[in-house]
Amino acid sequence: MNVLVLYAHPVETSYQAALHERAVAALTEAGHDVDDCDLYAEGFDPVLGRSERLGYHDTATNTAPVKDYVERLKRAEALVLVFPTWCYGPPAILKGFFDRVLLPGFAFRLTDDGKVEPNLRHIRKLAAVVTYGRGRLASLYMGDPPRKYVTRYWKWYVRRGAKITYLAHYDMNRSTPAGRERFLERVGQELARF
């Protein structure tokens, strides 16, 4: 299966980098074709500028500024998001990727009566590997936006009934080496079965 991994963390020595490495290794060892998209390493510009916003609904030309990323997402049969939670959301670079790449005519279509219909039905599986600075209860109190973003918002875009795997390591502020190692192992095991 063609798997697009979207990774968003600027520090190559971070725990998130170790999770990314484990995710890519597990998917590769399981026989998947992995397109590893490290947004920071690739220098992705997350800013949706004025001209792109003005041309947002022009489905003949709106994908031109991000055509390579659109093509990568078109080829994907599965999507794996690997990111930390900052201020109860994904890093700006990942949010910017969604703002710039999930475009009308590509990611969704607008019908004549204004209805929005999903257009990424070729994606059969979706997974996220996410870390949180705070604990699960604090995240629940805040509504756990990253979890909802993956399990509700993205669920709408992809194939109906797609398998969704959400792997979260909460409370990084008090995490222990043993706890981080257990989560690394879990990520490897889950994605080996992906």
Give the mean pLDDT of 135-162: 91
pLDDT digits (tens, 9 = 90+) for 72-105: 999 999 999 999 999 999 999 999 999 999 999 9
Question: Per the structure block, which two tokens stand in for 111?
Answer: 């019908």
Q: Which two tokens stand for residue 64?
A: 């031109």
DSSP 188: H
Domain boundaries, the chain: 2-192
Average pLDDT for 39-62:
96
The helix or strand, by DSSP H or E, that contains position 22, with its residue range, turns out to be helix 15-29
pTM of the model: 0.94
CATH architecture of 2-192: 3-Layer(aba) Sandwich (3.40)
Residue length of the chain = 194
Q: Strand order of the sheet with strand 125-131?
A: 33-38, 2-7, 78-84, 125-131, 163-169
Q: Report CA Rg, the chain.
A: 17
